[in-house]
Structure 1
Amino acid sequence: MTADSENATEELTELIRSARVVLWDFDGPICRLFAGHSAELVADGLVAWLESRGLRGLVTDTERDSLDPHLVLRAVDRRHPGSDLVAELEERLTKEELRATSTAMPTEYADVLIQTWRALGARMAVTTNNSPRVVRAYLDDRDLTSCFAPHIYGRTQDLHRLKPDPHCLNRALSAMGAAPGAALMIGDSPTDLEAARGAGVPFLGYARNERKAKLLTEAGAAHVVASLEPVLDLLRP
């Protein structure tokens, strides 16, 4: 092991063991929400619904081609903020996310890591752009709700406050009476990293493939793991 790798391991160990509050992104670090219910098809469905109402022009070709349902929702909200149209589109997305929970794939080691960290005294919160109803449904199914409740902070009607805005992280820190420096955010996207920076919270990137790892490192993430297993190992005596 080189000196650089030893230093990186020491820094990661300190990052993990010093965290008193852990803020989890949901889709990625905890599970793959759309593992069996394609996010691309959900985005297509939202766009098709808009087109059926003669509102195709609310979404650009770039936004339509992104195949990202959250991007479609935010695009419409930017053009009609706070409207009934946006509220109905958000509810449609929430229903699709709820459908996806039945086929969501748990992230390897996530369940046991959450339970172990909680047993060691850390407090947990979910800070996500997904609907909090969806998070609760998934956690209930995995018997993990008690590890987080009541600290689940997800999408609200204020869609401009979705990550990368640090709003949901700040809500969690405020409700838990936690200082940003005593917390740790675990996320899998540059928007998670940006939100953590905005809240002043240390960040640990989780990347299940090389593409996601590259996006995180290029965004400036200092610590990225390809598996949650080494995090669990560092918590064990």
Structure 2
Amino acid sequence: MRLVIFDVDGTLVDSQQVIHLGMTAAFEAVGLPVLPKEQVLTTVGLSLPVAMARLAPHADTSVHGLLVEAYKDAFTAARIKEFAPLYPGALECIEALSARDDLLLAIATGKGRRGLLPMLDTYGLHGRFFSLQTADDHPSKPHPSMLHRAMSEAGVESERAVMIGDTTYDIEMAVAAGIPAIGVAWGYHPVEALQNAGAAQVVQDFSALSAAIEDWAV
């Protein structure tokens, strides 16, 4: 058995608009200047406390805590108005992989369960993933804790697991866990950055990703 572990934001769903709406509302709620989307997207994949510390480095920890709570509330409200769409080909890829007898699927995301579970509900993805690892139970990426737990739950050793992600945090997490990583070019970090972080390869679309996983699983 092999384990394919997916990131969520920027890999399965294009959540940039919802994330930026949430961050805008959070920063406005605590009286801090609103940040451009490009700056916000550099922190996608990190747990919220770490992301807030990077986005508001001159604020103290109490303000970071307020930002986290304001973002959670704002993200929920923004999601009701405009849910993040799946990338083209994502659903077909997940359905095909989850139907295989030789593969298990998992998620390792900087989102909390509060954000992840509604997304799975919306797109009918519950039951497709054997293991769901979120920021609620682990240190922020690129710490490898999420991957270690996913592999432990699946009973899979590192040589039979692969990480799929769009940010350097995903790639660095995989390197730290001793597993290969496939980067995706449609997400929030540049291809060159993914390559420099240690991605075994970077694919351009879900068709290419499916082929790369097929080659890896031989």
TM class by shorter-chain length? 0.7 to 0.9
- Residues in 1 aligned to 2:205 and 2:27: alpha-carbon distance in whole angstroms: 34
Aligned to 2:190: 212
**1:177 deviation in Å?**
1.9
Pairing 1:176–2:157 present: no
Is 2:135 aligned against 1:155? Answer: yes
Sequence identity (%): 24
Whether the aligned pair in 2 keeps the contact of 1:26 and 1:127 (CA below 8 Å) is yes
1:66 aligned to 39, 46, 50, which one? 39
Runs of 4+ with >6 A deviation? 61-65
Equivalent-residue separation in structure 2 for 1:139 and 1:31 (angstroms): 11
What's the RMSD between the two structures over aligned residues? Answer: 3.3
Quick check: 1:166 aligned with 2:144?
yes
Aligned to 1:131: 112
CA separation in 2, counterparts of 1:47 and 1:110?
A: 32
Decide whether the 8 Å contact of 2:26 with 2:74 is kept in 1.
no
Count of aligned pairs: 203
Task: Give how far 1:62 is off.
Answer: 9.5
TM-score (norm 1): 0.72
Deviation track 1:150-209 (CA, whole Å, cap 9, x = no partner) reads: x21111276xx1111112212211222221111110000111000001111111001117
Q: Which amino acid aligns with 1:25?
A: D
Q: Which residue of 2 aligns with 1:30?
A: 12
**Any unmatched runs of 5+ in structure 1?**
1-18
Alignment of 1:94-105 (within 5 A): 94-98=72-76, 99-100=78-79, 102-105=82-85
Q: Distance in 1 between matches of 2:146 and 2:128?
A: 18
Q: Name the structure with the higher helix share.
A: 1
Distance, in Å, in 1 between the alignment partners of 2:123 and 2:37 is: 34
* 1:115 equivalenced with 2:95 (yes/no): yes
Cα deviation, 1:62-89, whole Å, max 9, x if unaligned, reads 9999335745424479953xx7x65554
- Paired letter, 2:6: W
The alignment partner of 1:148 has SS state of coil
Q: Does the 8 Å CA contact 2:185/2:202 hold for their aligned counterparts?
A: yes
Q: 2:176 aligns with which of 198, 204, 207?
A: 198
Q: Give the greater-gyration-radius structure (CA).
A: 1
Change (3 A) 1:193 1:146: same
How far residue 40 of structure 1 moved from its aligned partner, in angstroms, is 3.1
What are structure 2's unaligned runs of at least 5 residues?
Answer: none
